[in-house]
Amino acid sequence: MNIIETSALGKRYRRKWALRGCTLAIPGGHIVALVGPNGAGKTTLLTTAVGLTRPTEGSVTVLGGTPAGSPAALDRIAFVAQDAPLYRQLPVRDMLRVARYLNHHWDQPRAERRLESLEIPLDQRVGALSGGQKAQLALTIAVARRPSLLVLDEPLAALDPVAREDFLASVVGAAREDGISVLLSSHVLAELERVATYLIVLARGEVRVSAPVRELLDAQGAGLEEIAMRYLRAGTPSPRRDQPL
């Protein structure tokens, strides 16, 4: 099953195209690294896939052909934006209660166990948490929904190196424990190189490469960050997965 499929997807903001001619078929069962420079179109692709942005042209489906943004899709996708919508004045316990009321599927015991393992007190006010703890709280709320697809938009941007390591370890653990497919965006590939099993490189709203990490490493004999830079410097779209790399 493909977790996301797009066909000639495009999104224009006034005169500027954030995405243009984006055609992808992302298979499930991967931790997908979506990388590219600032302004490459990463956030637009993610918000279009989760139904928050309406495309200007083309189409997008998720989780085996379900229309993006439909009730069926929304029930199975958890999205964590770079600035997670957490209520700073609430205690963590009440933040979980709000999330429980807003979602059809919710695993309260799992959320509480996860926060306990991370030593995040339920009576602590959200605004008093560290940046890493806030990121972990947002991730906890996402995985407590028991999604099929977890979409994370630049979740590491505001974290220090230790918090980044902890957060990525949590993402990998959730993916393995629940069989969740993960799509994780960043403009710094070095952060994702150890965990990603599939790579998508975007630049200027166009797909430069979309392929399994192992295929790229075997074909090109270089590290993942170097491979991504090659496609970015080349300036032209690369072959898709079913074509020679």
* Higher per-residue pLDDT: 232 or 202: 202
pLDDT tens, 11-49?
999 989 999 999 999 999 999 999 998 889 999 999 999
Domain contains 120: no
The two structure tokens encoding residue 209: 């490469």
pLDDT at 193: 84
Which structural domain, as residue segments, surrounds residue 33? 2-82+150-234
**Cα end-to-end distance, the chain, whole Å:** 23
Q: Is residue 53 one of the residues assigned to a domain?
A: yes
pLDDT score recorded for residue 238: 45
Q: Is the pLDDT of residue 244 over 70?
A: no
CATH of the domain at 169: 3.40.50.300
Average pLDDT for residues 220-229, to the nearest whole number? Answer: 86
Instruction: Identify whether 167 is part of a domain.
Output: yes
Task: Tokens for 57, please give them.
Answer: 């042209």
Residue 49 falls inside a structural domain: yes
Look at 53-57, 64-68, 82-86, 217-221 and tell me which has the smallest mean pLDDT: 82-86
Neighbour count for residue 142 (Cβ, 10 Å): 24
Q: How far apart are CA 161 and CA 178, in angstroms?
A: 26
Structure tokens at 80: 């964590």
Could you tell me if residue 54 is inside a domain?
yes
Q: How many domains does the chain fold into? A: 1
Provide the pLDDT for residue 221. Answer: 82
Q: Determine what percent of the chain is predicted with pLDDT higher than 70.
A: 96
Residue 241 has pLDDT above 70, yes or no: no
**Stronger pLDDT, 89 or 159, i.e. the higher one:** 89
For strand 2-13 and strand 57-62, is the pairing parallel, antiparallel, or unpaired? antiparallel
Q: Does pLDDT of 94 surpass 80?
A: yes
Residue at 114 is within a domain: no
Q: Is residue 92 part of a domain?
A: no
Match 């957490």 to its residue by tokens. Answer: 86
Give every strand in the sheet of 31-35, ordered side by side. 77-80, 149-153, 181-186, 31-35, 198-203, 206-212
CB-based contact 9:48 (threshold 8 Å): yes
CA distances from 113 to 57, 140, 141, 163 (A): 44, 10, 12, 19
| Digit-coded pLDDT (tens) for 58-78 | 999 999 999 999 999 999 999
Query: What is residue 108's three-state secondary structure?
Result: helix
Strands (E), 31-91: 31-35, 57-62, 66-67, 77-80
- pLDDT tens digits, one per residue of 106-134: 999 999 999 999 999 999 999 999 999 99
pLDDT band per the 50, 70, 90 thresholds, residue 235: low
210 part of a folded domain: yes
Q: Which residues pair with 203 in a beta bridge?
A: 206
pTM of the model: 0.90
